[in-house]
Amino acid sequence: MRNFIFLIGSTDDFESLEVLKTAFFDCALGDYNASIILVSLDEACKVKGYNSLEEIATMIARGEAMTSGWCLDDTLSCLLEA
């Protein structure tokens, strides 16, 4: 099993991915317009059209973010492995 953390935040609050990551590692995301989405995938997980677990985790997390009201416009996001 591999565990991933997807971070997404508003460009109104974060000027770069580094600032978003720093806020996460400093446990300060609660002070900003940002969300954390956790994704766990079995090593054997395969999805046609995707070449890695990271790609699959990113698409799952983006879908979760979109259903929670986020959009890709004016946001920064990244995938970290937990």
For the chain, what is the domain count?
Answer: 1
pLDDT of residue 31: 87
Which helix (H) or strand (E) covers residue 80, if one does?
strand 75-81
The rounded distance, in Å, linking the Cα atoms of 21 and 8 is 10
Write down the pTM of the prediction: 0.92
How do the pLDDT tens digits run along the chain, 82 residues long?
Answer: 999 999 999 999 999 999 999 999 999 988 899 999 999 999 999 999 999 999 999 999 999 999 999 999 999 999 999 9
Query: Regarding beta strands 34-41 and 2-10, do their DSSP bridges make them parallel or antiparallel, or are they unpaired?
Result: antiparallel
19: containing domain: 2-81
DSSP for 3-41, written as a single string: EEEEEEEETTT-SSHHHHHHHHHTT-GGGSSEEEEEEEE
